[in-house]
Amino acid sequence: MADIFLLPGSYHLTSRPLTIETLVGSCVSVCLYNIKNCQAAMNHFLHDVPKGKSFYQIGQYGSSATEYIIEKLMSFDPEASHYQAQVFGGAAVIKTVSSEQNVGQKNIDIAKKILNTYRISIIREEIGGQRGRRVSFDTATNTVFCRFAGQIGKKYKQHQEIGSL
């Protein structure tokens, strides 16, 4: 089984068993799994929506990163009831004076909004709080191990591009 470590602004889609991991603070990670064909995807986005009209990478924003992995998986199986989502992160790791700057909550909100738009059930979420999380997604079983961030004990292949299905 291969291991992939997602950096901020990246995502991975797969049709083979993998363990995909990441560390999130105010960022959010959506783990998406198709219960019929066992295809899976995971992202790690930094912000809710792009500001302005400048060029941006799909993976950096929850609005584009989450929609992209959903649409890519749904191109193989468009039935929303075949998908399950798990959402992690969105912590307020940096204290701010203004509630308008609550990046973590904005990230949580956009992930949930997009999943709701596509009628995908969220079967688990570990969101908010004030501490980062280490997330490990086993795409063979749709199992996610999540714990508060600590030391990284294994070495992983870093991944920034989309995997092939």
pLDDT for position 33: 98
Question: How much is the pLDDT for 160?
Answer: 45
The pLDDT assigned to 27 comes to 96
Give the other-Cβ count within 10 Å of 150's Cβ: 11
Of 25-29, 112-116, 123-127, 149-153, the poorest mean pLDDT is in: 149-153
Q: Is residue 165 part of a domain?
A: no
Q: Is residue 108 part of a domain?
A: yes
132 is in which domain, residue-wise?
A: 2-159
Report helix, strand or coil for 145.
strand
Say what the pTM is: 0.86
Residue at 164 is within a domain: no
Q: What is the CATH number of the domain that holds 140?
A: 3.30.1330.200
d(CA 138, CA 77) in angstroms, rounded, equals 20
Residue 130 resides in a domain: yes
Rounded CA gap, 94 and 68, in Å? 28
Which residues lie across from 5 on neighbouring strands?
Answer: 21, 158
In this prediction, residues 92-103 reach a mean pLDDT of 70
The band of 154, judged by pLDDT with boundaries at 50, 70 and 90, is very low
Euclidean distance between CA atoms 110 and 27, whole angstroms? 11
| Tens-digit pLDDT profile for residues 23-80 | 999 999 999 999 999 999 999 999 998 876 666 688 998 999 999 999 999 999 999 9
Whether residue 76 contacts residue 39, with contact meaning beta carbons closer than 8 Å, is answered with: yes
For the chain, what is the domain count?
A: 1
Residue 9 has pLDDT above 80, yes or no: yes
**61 domain-assigned:** yes
